[in-house]
Amino acid sequence: MHHHGLSEWTVVCFTVNVIMGSGFLDVPHAMMESGFVLGVITLVGVTVLQWLAACMLAEVVARSHALLSRRSFDVSPVLQPLAKREAESASKENIGAWALGLPLLNVPAETSFEIMALCRLHLGRVIEAIIGFFVFLYLLGTLWSYADVFASALASAVPLYGINDEKTCAVYSDAQDGGEPAVTTDPECLLLYYGWCGVFAIAMAFLCVFELEEQVSFQVFMTFVRVAVICVMVGTILLSSDPKQDFGLESHPASGIPFVRPVGLAEMLPVAIFCQNVQIGVPALLQPLAHTRSFSRVFGIALSLCLIMYLALAITTAGFFGTDTDPSCNINWRKYQPREIAVAIELFPAIDTFTVFPLNAIFLSNNLLSILLGERWHAMQVPRWMGFVSRLACSLPPIILAAAYPSLSGTLDFTGIVAVILPFIVTPMLHRQSLNKCLDVWTSAQMEEAEAQGGFRSMVSAPSRVLAFGIGGVVLLGVCLFFQITTADDQ
């Protein structure tokens, strides 16, 4: 099944941009903490789990479309307007499936399902509100980290008129003996950081005006730029590894870094989960995909590309800088020569936030409006001015938090823990409930035939595997919380 839309590779570019925000900057530091072998195993394992979770959520979206397309399906008054639109769309989309009495497992081009709408349909309003709280925390932490990356990177490379004697400064101190780098206490340097937070707020207020479809060319271009910059970062380290060459980087090769350091999972695990989390964007990314049955391949390619870039950057950076690896690793290049390359590497993550911050602000705004407006909510029907005001209201608090608490590593620890809940706990719940509701309407044989035709079936679609996946998610959350509590006690 397909509709006119974007090609697979275009959606792959969008997906890479949604996944790969500022989180990749902390991967080398997290790998330094956990050790190379444990760090690689963690990243690969989390990538596989995130791919499975994304495929499961795509199945939930397809089932929701089938249920809402059936006129006899009983829904709450809040969802009746959406169900009416889906039924009208389905009647034109696949007459053959209707004639056979099969569920229409597809995603129409004119409709997207926000996470909150899926929770409302399958789990009820109370659970929707609880999950909405965690979605808000996750996206708040995500936007918070982007603002911190922008301000700290610009403060280290570009001065502001009338602040800090118009000089740059490092917001983070160098890591010592594997410890956590401290935030500067210099009031003038912090003032420069606050100034760049203000600049970022103004820029985001402008970018929040644009809709997703108005960003296609820019997003695809930035995907290629991102790959190029990471290649430059890895390449400059390889060149600097030659003792005959002096490019200004101080090497401390693998000093104090073992292959396995279990206590380092306290940082590595939440960072890996955060860096590969695509769940919040799955419904919006499915909508423009021309051939919806290729969703598994699209998410797999995007996650694999991100994994390759993470591993290449983390292994080379942690191996070269050792325990001096900065939590925002681009800062390690501030002394590189020629200076033009150093500035480009320092500033790219800041510029890159211009692509991912608006996307996540839109995700947060849409989900909040879905909760607040209820039956009046639909992305295609919200006035543009209302969307802009909502996105602006979602953008400012995390920027203020970044100014009050400039700590990328700590922010990612917190966000990574919250990020466990959506893909590994909420998604299995949605998958199980959506299947139960579908089986109330269709037989198992009809569902299996429709899934085979639509391609909406993954290796964990079986109920027993979904249950095991959800239990594993609860265990994973417990492990993350345990590490955070024990780490806090040690400090």
- DSSP string covering 27-92, please? HHHHHHHH-HHHHHHHHHHHHHHHHHHHHHHHHHHHHHHHHHH-TT----GGGHHHHHHHHHHHHH
Map out the domains of the chain with their CATH numbers. 8-490 (1.20.1740)
Terminal-residue alpha carbon distance, the chain: 55
Phi, psi torsion values for 283, nearest 5 degrees: -60, -45
Query: Which residues make Cβ contacts (< 8 Å) with residue 74, sequence separation at least 6?
Result: none
Say how many residues make up the chain. 491
Per-residue pLDDT of the chain (491 residues; tens, 9 = 90+): 444 567 888 889 888 988 887 667 889 989 988 989 999 999 999 999 999 999 999 889 888 878 877 655 555 444 444 545 554 554 444 544 444 556 666 665 555 677 888 888 888 888 888 888 888 877 887 888 888 888 887 887 788 888 878 888 877 765 555 455 677 778 888 899 999 999 999 988 888 777 766 777 888 888 888 888 899 999 998 888 877 777 767 666 655 677 888 888 888 888 898 889 888 888 878 877 777 778 889 999 999 999 999 999 999 988 888 888 887 787 788 788 888 888 888 788 778 888 888 888 888 887 777 777 665 555 455 677 777 888 888 888 889 888 887 765 555 556 666 788 889 999 999 999 999 988 888 888 888 888 777 777 777 788 889 999 999 999 999 988 888 777 655 55
What is the C-alpha separation between 82 and 69, in angstroms, rounded? Answer: 9
What is the C-alpha separation between 6 and 422, in angstroms, rounded? Answer: 26
Side-chain half-sphere exposure of 240, counting CA atoms within 13 A: 24
Beta strands per DSSP E along 189-273:
none
What is the C-alpha separation between 188 and 180, in angstroms, rounded? Answer: 22
* 3-state secondary structure at position 6: strand
What is the C-alpha separation between 427 and 301, in angstroms, rounded? Answer: 21
CB 64 within 8 A of CB 83: no
What six digits make up the tokens of 440? 């109330």
Q: Which of 403, 401, 348 is nearest to 22 (CA)?
A: 348
Is the pTM for the entire model greater than 0.85? no
CA 366 to chain centre: 16
Q: Which helix (H) or strand (E) holds 450?
A: helix 444-454
The residue type found at 288 is: P
Q: Which of 486, 437, 426, 406 is nearest to 133 (CA)?
A: 426
CB 363 within 8 A of CB 370: no
The residue type found at 331 is: I
Looking at residue 328, what DSSP letter applies? S
Contacts 24+ apart (CB under 8 A), 367-370: 367/114, 367/115, 367/116, 367/132, 367/135, 367/136, 367/139, 368/132, 368/136, 368/394, 370/114, 370/116, 370/117, 370/120
What is the C-alpha separation between 481 and 478, in angstroms, rounded? Answer: 5
* 3-state secondary structure at position 183: strand
Side-chain half-sphere exposure of 456, counting CA atoms within 13 A: 29
Query: Which residues make Cβ contacts (< 8 Å) with residue 384, sequence separation at least 6?
Result: none
